[in-house]
Chains A and B, each alone.
Chain A
């Protein structure tokens, strides 16, 4: 079994791609064709990491989607960081439907990933975080990112 697990479900309307694991220099996206699909849903909740070589392969792979509308769901922080940092990581026709925002409580040592959904917690130009996020013990949690950096892709 490779480091990256990709499952693809193709329907006439769209292609659903579920990815889990690690994207690095060993990844071979050529076996997962994105061409010929009007729309592509990419589900990324299982993705653990991506390095600079993996980014290069990712951008090449996304370039093969031939202008399909690509929506990304359940993006983990590693993906959001790359979207913010690497120009072209999010294809021109790409849109983030939902992504995780890490929260933590330093004193309790608790951590949680809160899913921000398009139309609810964020729009094309703004972010409306939940008023409060609490851990399982009811402790208030704070956002574990620098907001001006993490939500940069929304405010483009």
Chain B
């Protein structure tokens, strides 16, 4: 038997669990991917909005400062000194701490030429402390028109505005020191996202604590600070921080000097909802898969329980037990399969019993055939002057024909009979006939009396249901008289010795007397007659199966061919054995191996010349 693999139950279980698992996993991956992309886009969008808003706001505030100080600038440029109006304006702006004017000296270097300040003497100290940065600031302002710096990492903003007169021969740089506490607070207050106000070089003007004065590159180096993106007004990108954290960075140029507002959000925090979604999805998956496994176990048990029953039943059948039945009550295909299995097993069981019964009957028939063969005499014999040769072939295992010869005193009795039908029932009657004949032979009675006794015997056995045609003759060894009695049997042919060619008219049917068939009525009386057999005369005894012999085309041999073969077999007065062989050859030539439809029996006796 082939080795058994994985149980179908586990296959169903695997299928029912793996299918939702794979489907949901693919769905989760795709959903999370889309969700993440959407979330990032959302964060980028909101950050860009935030940076843009902040950029607009800081631009407005700085421009507001310049708008306030512009009359001061104009007063100074008109009079080359601060007028009382300029001072008044300055004093009214509380956030303004100082306005310092720088003009080129004889060497071209910028030097302080005028000053407005709220606290006397304070500004000079500041400027003194910023000698080196100021040189850089002047260099920067020379390149552009204005810059904004926070050199002290506090909320004071140093705005440097370069003003050139109409002839462009004189350049004046105004330094406005203004305190922008609210703006600084806005940049410090970012929680989930951090907001920076930086210059193009990355230096942070305002930002979260501890970042003012530092460069943004110490935290993250976004691409927009270098390369082609340096000129893009607004954008967003994903950058990796120095500490390895992925950041979502959005920026907007303020449109005031090179100021840029930058917002950063840690990607993990921005996508925190995704992580929550993953965790909840995994929990949901776990519950779903558990339910699927439990339901699959129940479902597969229902299916495989019936299949397991069927499997065990087929194993029993394979071992030869066809009485096994399966008890499956479901109405589905498995139930139908089980019903069909039960029907099949019952049918096989019935057929096996039939086969066994048939084998038994065939065995019995073979035994009966063997027994029946003992009822027949030797096919070749010579008793006194009488030579005998015969042939017998039943249509099935057992036949209803019977022939026999025996010597009683100085007479040879010749028996031939044919029971109704053929096969086992007819064979039983021949057996009864043989048994009766064994007794009758000892009585030394005439053929007519013998058939009367045989008739009673057959009738008592068959009760009129099976009859037998019969011909019984006795040949007197001394006189050659042949006394015969016919019980509706085919009349044998007397073939007289002739010196001329044997013809049909030379065949003499021994039909001078006829009587009822044996077994037709219990008290039938039988008549007999006699004929003289001379030396060289033969008698051909036969049953009616001979003309009925068919060829493979179901064509009967017929009486005409039968008579022709009979004449041909005896045309030159042969020995009885030769005539029988010739006759057999004739009908076998027609038969060509086809099965017989009736038993075939015949024998020939010939009175030979006394030596």
Contact = CB atoms under 8 A, between A and B. Distances in A.
A45 interface: no
Contact of A144 (B467, B560, B598): B560
Contact of A152 (B505, B507, B511, B516): B511
Nearest to A86: B488
Chain B interface residue bracket vs A:
20 to 34
Contacts of A52: 418-421, 467, 469, 544
B560 A86 contact: no
Q: Which residue, A52, A84, A146, A148, has most C-beta atoms of chain B within 10 A?
A: A52
A145 interface: yes
Given A146-B509, A149-B511, A152-B509, A85 B420 contact: no
Given A146-B504, A148-B509, A152-B511, A88 B420 contact: no
Interface residues of A, number: 21
B515 interface: yes
Contacts of B364: none
B489 interface: yes
Contact of A149 (B418, B491, B598): B491
Interface string A85-100: 1111100000000000
Contacts of A145: 559
Given A87-B514, A88-B516, A104 B421 contact: no
Contacts of A51: 421, 598
Contact of A85 (B488, B507, B520, B563): B488
Nearest to A60: B464
B508 interface: yes
Q: Which residue, A51, A85, A148, has most C-beta atoms of chain B within 10 A?
A: A85
B266 interface: no
Contacts of B515: 87
Contacts, number: 55
A25 interface: yes
Contact of B511 (A55, A56, A84): A84
Nearest to B418: A52
B591 interface: no
Interface in A63-89: 84-89
A85 B491 contact: yes
A13 B560 CA distance: 41
Interface string A19-57: 000000100000000000000000000000001110110
A56 B560 contact: no
Nearest to B513: A87
Contacts of B488: 85-89
Contacts of A149: 491, 509, 511
Contacts of A56: 420, 467
B484 to A, nearest CB: 15
B97 interface: no
Given A53-B421, A152-B509, A86 B559 contact: no
A148 B508 contact: yes
B490 interface: yes
A152 B514 CA distance: 11
Interface string B418-443: 11110000000000000000000000
A104 to B, nearest CB: 7
B555 to A, nearest CB: 14
A149 B571 CA distance: 21
Contacts of A148: 508-509, 511
B369 interface: no
Interface in B487-515: 487-491, 504-505, 507-509, 511, 514-515
A152 B420 CA distance: 23
A53 B420 contact: yes
B511 A104 contact: no
Interface string B467-489: 10100000000000000000111
A25 B509 CA distance: 29
A27 B488 CA distance: 22
A85 B490 contact: yes
A77 to B, nearest CB: 8
B603 to A, nearest CB: 19
Interface in A95-112: 104
A24 B291 CA distance: 76
A52 B508 CA distance: 24
A21 B87 CA distance: 151
A87 B516 contact: yes
A87 B563 contact: no
A145 B562 CA distance: 11
A141 B487 CA distance: 34
A86 B421 contact: no
Nearest to B421: A53
Contact of B421 (A25, A87, A88): A25
B156 interface: no
A146 B421 contact: no
A85 B515 CA distance: 9
A145 B491 CA distance: 14
B149 interface: no
Contacts of B559: 144-145
Nearest to A111: B560
Interface in A109-156: 144-149, 152
Interface in B511-565: 511, 514-517, 520, 544, 559-560, 563
19 contacts: A25-B421, A51-B421, A51-B598, A52-B419, A52-B467, A52-B469, A53-B420, A56-B467, A85-B490, A85-B491, A86-B517, A88-B488, A104-B560, A145-B559, A146-B563, A147-B505, A148-B509, A149-B491, A152-B509
Given A144-B559, A149-B509, A152-B509, 4 more contacts: A89-B488, A146-B505, A146-B507, A148-B508
Interface of A: 25, 51-53, 55-56, 59, 84-89, 104, 144-149, 152
Can you list the 6 inter-chain pairs with the closest CB atoms, starting with the nearest?
Answer: A149-B509, A86-B488, A52-B420, A87-B516, A87-B488, A87-B514
